[in-house]
Chain A
Amino acid sequence: MVTNVTNFGRSGLSDWLLQRFSAVVLALYSVFIVGYFLTTSDLDYAQWSAFFQQTWVRIFTFLSILSIAAHAWIGLWTISTDYIKPTGIRFVFQAVCNLALFTYVVWGVQVLWGA
């Protein structure tokens, strides 16, 4: 057993599962949002805003934002442990990634439920 504390879940299996699950969510959301654009002609602000007033659209969007954060965190953590060997630099890289992803999540909440 290789111990570590900086990965997302506590086990390799949970990280792996989450990576797959979030990938499926992101794929579905991409199809959904592209489909919306293709089927909606002359999209204006009022329509766009009304679309995001619907609770289920907000939930689906928020789930996608969380999926991006989890997916990116697991992926970037993996990349950093492959290629960045000095512990200090790797730790800083991971901290910056975490902070950025956290910011995106909070910002996403603000955008979705703000106005």
Chain B
Amino acid sequence: MLVVSVYRYNPEKDSAPYMQEFNIDTKGADLMVLDVLHLVKEQDNTFAYRRSCREGVCGSDGMNMNGKNGLACITPLSEVVTGGKLVIRPLPGLPVIRDLVVDMSLFYKQYERIKPYLLNDTPAPAIERLQAPEERDKLDGLYECILCACCSTSCPSFWWNPDKFVGPSGLLQAYRFLIDSRDTQTRERLAELDDPFSVFRCRGIMNCVSVCPKGLNPTKAIGHIRDMLLRNAT
């Protein structure tokens, strides 16, 4: 028997959030946390959470499992359960809409702010803008981000200033467009980031790196952005 303690909050009827315990029979299998949530929902169908692909692709089931952010669908119990207990909470720092469902507006706003699309002011070619294999290689480790928000919601700097600090996820994407050989707005993009909050609020503690389910490294990308700002300005 696995004791699963889940965060419950329905603002329409609860005056405050509370933790609710469920006893789940896993039949000895090393289930994924998401499977366990389905079993919880079988016991109480008012329990709400997001999920879609159930294979680590869509990024919709980011949550806090025994204190660490991750995707429930690709996190086996053996990786997180200690002492037969599993504590599930919503991603920290974002407003809770209901149970594990959080309001991601600020997270998306920061993503939107870095203009996550190619900007190119040269005439469009007949077919497509070509890129050398080496130029394309620079995007590896950046484009794979699925915007699950596990990183940004484990970052203290993002907790304190989610409206001003872009956060690890947004900055990883900012760098993805800064080094794309097909983008011509590098200077404008950099100028947009050169204030004390957007990039420089990163304190380099690497919480983001330790939780990214895709194994990406936002801290490294942030370091590259800082180097670009420095080279641009000195």
Chain B residues in 8 Å Cβ range of A81: 160-161, 197
Contact A16 B200 (CB under 8 A): yes
Contact A12 B160 (CB under 8 A): no
Chain A 43-83: CB-based contact to B (< 8 A → 1; otherwise 0): 00000000000000000000000000000000000100111
Separation of A17 and B196 alpha carbons in the complex (Å):
11
Chain B residue with the shortest CB-CB distance to A82: B160
Given known A13-B200, A13-B233, A15-B200, contact A1–B161 (CB-CB < 8 A) = no
Size class of the contact patch on chain A: 10 to 19
Instruction: Determine if B135 is an interface residue (Cβ-Cβ < 8 Å).
Output: no
Chain B residue with the shortest CB-CB distance to A77: B196
CB distance from B53 to the nearest CB of A (A): 34
Chain A residues in 8 Å Cβ range of B201: 78
Chain A 8-23: CB-based contact to B (< 8 A → 1; otherwise 0): 0001110111000000
Q: Secondary structure at chain A's binding surface: helix, strand, loop or mixed?
A: helix
Chain B residues in 8 Å Cβ range of A98: none
Size of the chain B interface, CB-CB below 8 angstroms: 19
- Residues B136-192 near A (CB distance < 8 A): 157, 160-161, 164, 191-192
Contact of B226 among A1, A4, A16 (CB under 8 A): A16
Separation of A11 and B197 alpha carbons in the complex (Å):
10
Contact A12 B197 (CB under 8 A): yes
Chain A residues in 8 Å Cβ range of B35: none
Contact of B229 among A3, A13, A82 (CB under 8 A): A13
Interface residues of B (CB under 8 A from A): 157, 160-161, 164, 191-201, 226, 229-230, 233
Q: Can you offer 17 A-B residue contacts whose CB atoms are under 8 A?
A: A1-B198, A2-B164, A2-B198, A11-B194, A11-B196, A12-B193, A12-B196, A12-B198, A12-B199, A13-B194, A13-B226, A13-B229, A15-B196, A15-B200, A81-B197, A82-B161, A83-B160
